[in-house]
Structure 1
Amino acid sequence: MKKISFIHAADLHLDSPMVGLSHLPSSIFTRVKESTFTAFRKLTEEAIDQQVDFVILAGDLFDGEDRSLRAQSRFRTEMLKLAEKEIPVYIIFGNHDHLNGSWVHLEMPPNVHVFQSEVEAKVLQTKSGEIVHLYGFSYPTRHVFARKIDDYMKNSGADFHIGILHGNESSGTEHDNYAPFSVSDLQEKDYDYWALGHIHKRVVLSETPPIIYPGNIQGRNKKETGSKGFYHVTLTELEAKKDFVETSDIVWEKVDVDAASASSFHDVLQLCQSTIAHFRRDKTGTLLTLLLKNIQLEDDQEKRSLNSELLDLLLEEEKEEESFVWVVDLTITESQQIDKEKLKMEANFYAELFETIDHFDDVDNSLAPLYEHQLGRKYLSHLLVTEQEELIEKAEKLLIELLYQS
C-alpha cells in the first residue's frame, strides 16, 4: 500500500520581538526571546527522528518582511540538518514574510523548495517511490485579497495531491480575509490533504479530506494561549493519521479564580499557589494571566497587602525555576454586583454614559496616537471589529467599577 509521512507546520514567526515583555527577569526574557527558535528545533528533531518524507511550512516563517539575518541564519542551520538526512522542505511565504519585502538574502540548501507568487505544482518522488504533487503560492505582497484558490488545479500522474495555502476560511471573522476560501472550495479540488496557514489556533476544518490549520508553533502573547505545535501526518490510500506534536517552550495561559471562599490574605495566597501548581509543566515555562474575582476580605491591612505584596510573593521562587509559572498580569476584583439599570434610575449621568458607550464608533481616532507613534506603528496590528468591541466593553466595565468605588 502506498504511504507518505510528512510534517505540516505554519506561522513560525521566527525572531518575534515579544513586545511588552522586557520587564521580565533577564533569564526568563532571554528564554522567551529564544522560544520561537527552540520550538523550530523541536520540529526539525521530530522530522529526523520520524524519518518523514518531507516537511511543509505554510507561510509566515519569519515575523517581518525584513527577515532578520538572525532568523534566516537559524532557519538555514535547521534546513542543513534536514538536508543531511535528505528530507526536502516545501515553503510558501505569507503576509508577514511576503516576497516583496526587503532583506539580505542567505542562500538556502538545495533541499529547500520555495513556491513563487503564482500557484504552481512541485513534484516529489519519495525514497520509497511514491509520487507526490504539492500545490501552492507565496504572497507577492503583504495584502492578498484575491481568491487564489481558483488557480489551484489537479495534475495527473501522482499518488498523492497536497494543497498548501496561507489564507482565511471565508466564514471566519477574527482575522484579515487574505486569500479567502470556503471548505467546499477545497473539497472540490479533490486533493488528499490541505496544509493551511495564517490562523494561529489549531483547527481541523474537515476530516475528509483533512483540511487543517496547525496553528503557530509558539505562542507570542496572552491571546495565543495553550500548547502550540505542528502535525505529523501519515497518508495512505485508505486513511489519514494526524498526530499533533507540541513544540512550545513557553506557554501562555489565562485563568479566572473565584476567591469568594478566601477569608484571609493567607487563604488567597494559598489559592494562588495552588493555581500556579496546576499550570506548572515539566521543562516548559508558563506566562500566566491571573484574575482573582470576588475578593471579600474585611481587614483593610490585608486588602492593602493583596495589592502591594501578593504578586511579589507569587514570583519569589520562579526566577530560577526551569518550569516556571510567571504571573505576567494579576487583576484583583472585589465582590460586588453592579446593576446598570438601577444606576440609570439613580442618576442621569449613568444613563448618558451608557448611551455614549453604546453608540461609540470612534475607536480608530482614539487609538491614533498609538498607531502614529514610531514604535507603536511598527508592532501594532489593526484591530478587528470583535477586538474593538471587546476593548469598549472592558473600558465600560472599568469606568463603572471606578465610579462605583468612588
Structure 2
Amino acid sequence: MSAIRFFHMADLHLDSPFKGLFGLPEHILKKIRLSTFEAFDKIIVKAIQEKPDFLLIVGDIYDGENRSLQAQRRFQDAMEKLFQHNIPVIVSYGNHDHLNGTWTRFALPSNVYELPAETSVVQLKIRGQQVNIYGFSYPERHLRESVIESYPTAHDQHALHIGMLHGSEAGNTTHDVYAPFTKQQLLEKNYHYWALGHIHKRQLLHQNPPIVYPGNIQSRHRKEQGMKGFYDVTLSKTSTELDFISTSAVVYSTIEVDCTDVVHANELLKRCAEAITANRKKFGASVVELHLQQIDEQTEALFEHATVDAWLETIREAEEGIEPMCWVQKMVLQKAARFYEHTATTQSVVSLMEQWDSNEWKDILKDLYQYAGGARLIEPLSEKDIENLTHRAQTLLAEEIQRA
C-alpha cells in the first residue's frame, strides 16, 4: 500500500490578544495582532497547492472559550476552501477552546470532522488504505485527569492508526498539566503516529513510532522564540518522514551584540544595526531583544549620560520604515565576566541553592507571584528562569562578599 500524507498542526490560537506589548507604532502593532491569521493562511495556501490527504488540528484553534467572531469567520472560510479541494480536516478542541464555552456558532462544511468530548474514531479510506484517527475534544477547560485509558488499543494490522491528544507528558510543568500521559502509555496503544498538541515547543518525544509536538504556528510572546510552524508528514506502516514547515509571520528572537572594544556611541549603534540586519535576513519580520555582551567599563560609560530607553529610541528610529519590520522591544546589558572566588560561607549558600527544585523556588518567590498588582504582569516560572535566577543570585552573592 502507498504511504499517506497529512499536515499535523496544533495551538493556532487565532486572534490572540498579544498582551504585554507597549509603545509600538500602530502599523507594527497591527502586524503582530494579525500574525496568527497570517500564519494560518500560509498553511491553507500550502494545503491547496500540494493537496495532502488530510489535516490534523490538535486543539486550541481559538485563543479563548468565547471564540471571537473574526477568528471563527477566518477559520470557517479556510475550511470552505479546503472543502472545494476535497481535503478532509480532523479537529479537536483543547483547554482554550473547550466545548463548554459560550460562542456564536458557525456551521463548518462536511469535510471537517469535529471530535466530540468522548474519545472517538474517524475512519478514512485513502487510495485503498484504511486510516483510523482517534481523539477527543475537551469538555471543559480544566481537564486534569488522564484520558489515555479511553483510547482503544490498535489490533487491525491492515489499518494505519493515528492518535490525536492535546495534553502534557506527566511531570512536564512548563505548561499547565492537562490530560497527562506517559510515553509508555502511548506506545502501548500500538499506533503508527501520535499527533500531540498543547506544548508550544516543537518536540519529538519518540522516534519510532513518532510521538510529536509540532509547537504552535505563531509565537505570541518573548518566551516563544524562533521559527514556528507545522509538520508535513508522510506515513506508512514501516516508515515516517517529518518535514517541518515554518509559518511564522513575526519571529521573536534574541540578538547578541558583541561590544568588545566599543568606546564611542557610533560604534555601538553600528554593531546593533549590523546585528539587526542579520536577524532580518534570517527571520524576516521580528520582535527582538538586544543583549549587549562584553560590556566593559569603557562601554558602560556610554550609558552614564544616556539611559537605556534613550538608546532604544535611537535604535528604533534608525530601523523605522525598513522592511521586513524589526521592533526592538528590549535592551539588556551584560557586563564582561568578572571572576570571584567563593569563600567557605558563600560556597555553602551556593550549594544550598543548587539543591532547590522548582517547588522550592516557587515557595521562595510566592510573595511576588501572589501580589495582585504584579502577578498578572509576569509569566509562570520556567526551568530556564530558575537557571538564570540561580546564576544571578550566585554572582551577586560573590560580588557583595568581594566588596565587604
Q: Given that residues 368 and 374 in structure 2 are in contact (C-alpha distance below 8 angstroms), is that contact kept between their aligned partners in structure 1?
A: no
Counterpart of 2:322 in 1: which secondary structure? coil
Label 1:290 to 1:189 Cα distance change in 2 as closer, same or farther (>3 A).
Answer: same
Counterpart of 2:234 in 1: which secondary structure? strand
Label 1:120 to 1:372 Cα distance change in 2 as closer, same or farther (>3 A).
Answer: farther
Provide TM-score, normalisation by structure 2. Answer: 0.86
Counterpart of 1:316 in 2: which secondary structure? helix
Match of 2:150? 151
Once the 2 structures are TM-superposed, how far is the Cα of residue 397 of structure 1 from its aligned partner? 7.9
Label 1:164 to 1:371 Cα distance change in 2 as closer, same or farther (>3 A).
Answer: farther
Label 1:328 to 1:115 Cα distance change in 2 as closer, same or farther (>3 A).
Answer: same
Counterpart of 1:328 in 2: which secondary structure? strand
Once the 2 structures are TM-superposed, how far is the Cα of residue 297 of structure 1 from its aligned partner? 4.7
The 10-residue stretch of structure 1 (274-283 or 394-403) with the greater mean CA deviation from structure 2? 394-403
Gaps of 5+ in 2: none
What CA RMSD, in Å, does the superposition of the two structures yield over aligned residues?
A: 3.4
Match of 2:96? 96
Match of 1:348? none
Provide TM-score, normalisation by structure 1. Answer: 0.86
Query: Which whole-Å CA distance do the structure 2 matches of 1:22 and 1:210 have between them?
Result: 41
Once the 2 structures are TM-superposed, how far is the Cα of residue 111 of structure 1 from its aligned partner? 1.3
Counterpart of 1:46 in 2: which secondary structure? helix
Query: Which whole-Å CA distance do the structure 2 matches of 1:296 and 1:102 have between them?
Result: 56
Cα deviation, 1:326-377, whole Å, max 9, x if unaligned, reads 21110124446374846978xxxxx99x999x8873533433333798xx3x
1:366 aligns with 2:365: no
1:324 aligns with 2:325: yes
Once the 2 structures are TM-superposed, how far is the Cα of residue 389 of structure 1 from its aligned partner? 3.5
Counterpart of 1:281 in 2: which secondary structure? helix
Write the letter of the residue equivalent to 1:132: V
Label 1:306 to 1:186 Cα distance change in 2 as closer, same or farther (>3 A).
Answer: same
Query: Which whole-Å CA distance do the structure 1 matches of 2:283 and 2:211 have between them?
Result: 32
Q: Given that residues 265 and 306 in structure 1 are in contact (C-alpha distance below 8 angstroms), is that contact kept between their aligned partners in structure 2?
A: no
1:34 aligns with 2:34: yes
Label 1:322 to 1:87 Cα distance change in 2 as closer, same or farther (>3 A).
Answer: same
Q: Given that residues 5 and 232 in structure 2 are in contact (C-alpha distance below 8 angstroms), is that contact kept between their aligned partners in structure 1?
A: yes
Gaps of 5+ in 1: 346-350
Once the 2 structures are TM-superposed, how far is the Cα of residue 173 of structure 1 from its aligned partner? 3.2
Match of 1:169? 169
Match of 1:141? 140
Once the 2 structures are TM-superposed, how far is the Cα of residue 102 of structure 1 from its aligned partner? 1.5
The 10-residue stretch of structure 1 (20-29 or 8-17) with the greater mean CA deviation from structure 2? 20-29
Match of 2:64? 64
Write the letter of the residue equivalent to 2:30: T
Correspondence list, 1:10-29, <5 A:
10-29=10-29
The 10-residue stretch of structure 1 (16-25 or 87-96) with the greater mean CA deviation from structure 2? 16-25
The size of the alignment, in residue pairs, is: 396
Counterpart of 2:255 in 1: which secondary structure? strand
Query: Which whole-Å CA distance do the structure 1 matches of 2:340 and 2:300 have between them?
Result: 25
Label 1:58 to 1:380 Cα distance change in 2 as closer, same or farther (>3 A).
Answer: farther
Once the 2 structures are TM-superposed, how far is the Cα of residue 36 of structure 1 from its aligned partner? 0.2
Once the 2 structures are TM-superposed, how far is the Cα of residue 53 of structure 1 from its aligned partner? 1.0
Correspondence list, 1:294-333, <5 A:
294-298=294-298, 302-303=302-303, 304-305=305-306, 307=308, 309-333=310-334
Write the letter of the residue equivalent to 1:322: E
Cα deviation, 1:178-228, whole Å, max 9, x if unaligned, reads 111122221221111111001111111122111110000000111100000
Query: Which whole-Å CA distance do the structure 2 matches of 1:299 and 1:293 have between them?
Result: 10
Identical counterparts, % of pairs: 37
Query: Which whole-Å CA distance do the structure 2 matches of 1:267 and 1:81 have between them?
Result: 52
Query: Which whole-Å CA distance do the structure 1 matches of 2:316 and 2:21 have between them?
Result: 15
Label 1:398 to 1:296 Cα distance change in 2 as closer, same or farther (>3 A).
Answer: same
Counterpart of 1:181 in 2: which secondary structure? coil
Label 1:37 to 1:340 Cα distance change in 2 as closer, same or farther (>3 A).
Answer: farther
After the TM superposition, which parts of structure 1 deviate over 6 Å for at least 4 consecutive aligned residues?
A: 342-345, 397-405
Cα deviation, 1:10-31, whole Å, max 9, x if unaligned, reads 0001111111114211111100
Label 1:299 to 1:290 Cα distance change in 2 as closer, same or farther (>3 A).
Answer: closer
1:337 aligns with 2:330: no
Once the 2 structures are TM-superposed, how far is the Cα of residue 267 of structure 1 from its aligned partner? 2.4
Query: Which whole-Å CA distance do the structure 1 matches of 2:158 and 2:64 have between them?
Result: 35
Label 1:200 to 1:325 Cα distance change in 2 as closer, same or farther (>3 A).
Answer: same
Q: Given that residues 175 and 384 in structure 1 are in contact (C-alpha distance below 8 angstroms), is that contact kept between their aligned partners in structure 2?
A: no
Q: Given that residues 167 and 178 in structure 1 are in contact (C-alpha distance below 8 angstroms), is that contact kept between their aligned partners in structure 2?
A: yes
Counterpart of 1:272 in 2: which secondary structure? helix
